[in-house]
Amino acid sequence: MVLHFLLEFFKRVVAEIRYQIVYYALGGIAQLEDFIYAKDNRVDIIDRTGQIAVVTGGARGIGLHVVRMLLQCNMHVIIGCRNTDSGENAIGALRASGVVQGTVECFQLDTASLTSVRKFAKKVVSLHPVIHILVNNAGIMFVPFSLTEDGIESHQAVNYIGHFVLTQELLPSLETAGRQSSSKSRIVNVTSCAYAAGTINYADFNNTVGYIASAAYAQSKLAQLLSTVHMSRLFTENNIPVNVYAVHPGIVNTELFDGTAFKTVFPWVPRLLFKSPENGAMPIVHAAISPLVENRSGIYISNCRETPVKKYVLDSSEGYKLHKFTFDLIKKLSPKKCSS
């Protein structure tokens, strides 16, 4: 018994160390790329009067700057956030800062709850049956193990499953907009270079055995990327006028790093070396509005540049496997509300 415990403890410590090494390597490479390609990390504001965008997690950090830039395009922007008071305060701050273009409203949304996701989607569609842009931005990182009310590990729920369901709920409205417009509607999934450290643990999707927060986060980001590529393929095959993009915003100084050992020990590093939230928002808005990517659905964008992905991400069998697994999981959770 004692020997087994010590062996399992040792294996977990080794796994933790491995993930830390991989994360620091990926982060270092990403920071170097952020520096090298800084001049490319720019987006032109384009007039999009009359168009509607939905942004999850749009009340703070990167999401708030995405909202600001979309408003400057003169769009109507719908913010989905957990605390609507915070959302209204953010809107007030944007207006006070001089952003006078566009219109904006804020609805309650918690992507950790499928009930909240569906309630949000229903409200949005009832008010705006045509949607041009969906930015799946809300996210969490490196949090302790917990299961949501739906029984899903929190990283998988907030970062992937919740946004997957929201995308399915809003897809008819996005498709309508794409058919009515000269250009396709767009879905932007905010992922991370950390996907490269991830694997999809189908046998233990919630990572309940030997939970490692960094591994759970990486899995959720890989799932977002695989789903992006697969959805793009499905939409193309079925003539659905919606483009899908995955975006790595960069290594950004946001509240996601608060409480991490790295920021606790080296609090000056993020301020000095990381991207600002505004610069982190640039590639997201680039994916949402730039004509340069109109015919490039399914790509992975970093620093407003199309960036190669790991070979397995493009494997259609991997995308199909995750897609089917996700629908089966959602069907078990909500059997009357899921259709593939």
Return the axis-axis angle of helices 213-237 and 162-180, rounded to nearest 10°.
Answer: 30
Q: Which of 217, 300, 312, 320 is catalytic?
A: 217
Q: Is 300 noted as a catalytic residue in this protein? A: no
Closest of 60, 11, 255 to residue 143, by C-alpha: 255
Point out the residues that are catalytic. 217
